[in-house]
Amino acid sequence: GAVVSQHPSRVICKSGTSVKIECRSLDFQATTMFWYRQFPKQSLMLMATSNEGSKATYEQGVEKDKFLINHASLTLSTLTVTSAHPEDSSFYICSAREPGQGTYEQYFGPGTRLTVT
């Protein structure tokens, strides 16, 4: 199956700093990538949908100025958590979908554990 990578896998940062998380599709071109966050013992919550070459679509309640998403190429999307605060500490997972009509399966990256101190 398709492989999606994320970097870094784990990051600790101080409150007020910004953190960038990369999501790459390794063996396919992903016109659409998705960013999720997952709190402990909770399910994945979709944050935004990232489309190559256009602005991301954010879910209701997600601050677009705080969670900056860039999908500059068909294999890379980045999520930047700006001015991070402890409440932003979470597990962030990206997924990518192969282009193709009717293909809705999403391949998930291994996730990034963000801890804001």
Partner 1 sequence: EDKVVQSPLSLVVHEGDTVTLNCSYEVTNFRSLLWYKQEKKAPTFLFMLTSSGIEKKSGRLSSILDKKELFSILNITATQTGDSAVYLCAGIYGGSQGNLIFGKGTKLSVKP
Is 21 in contact with 88 (CB distance < 8 Å)?
no
Report the site for partner 1 in 46-85 (rule: CB under 8 A): 46, 49, 57
**Measured from the CB atom, is 36 or 78 closer to partner 1?**
36
**The pairing of beta strand 44-51 with beta strand 57-58:** antiparallel
Query: Smallest gap, in angstroms, from Cβ of residue 86 to partner 1?
Result: 22
92 binds partner 1 (CB under 8 A): no
Query: Smallest gap, in angstroms, from Cβ of residue 48 to partner 1?
Result: 10
Taking the C-alpha atoms of residue 104 and residue 11, their distance in angstroms, rounded to an integer, is: 30
Taking the C-alpha atoms of residue 70 and residue 89, their distance in angstroms, rounded to an integer, is: 21
Closest CA to 58 of 79, 30, 84: 79
Binding mask of the shown chain, residues 8 to 47, with x at each position contacting partner 1 by CB under 8 A: ------------------------x-x-------xxxxx-
Is 18 in contact with 66 (CB distance < 8 Å)?
no
Which residues are near partner 1 by CB under 8 A? Answer: 1, 32, 34, 42-46, 49, 57, 93, 97, 103-111
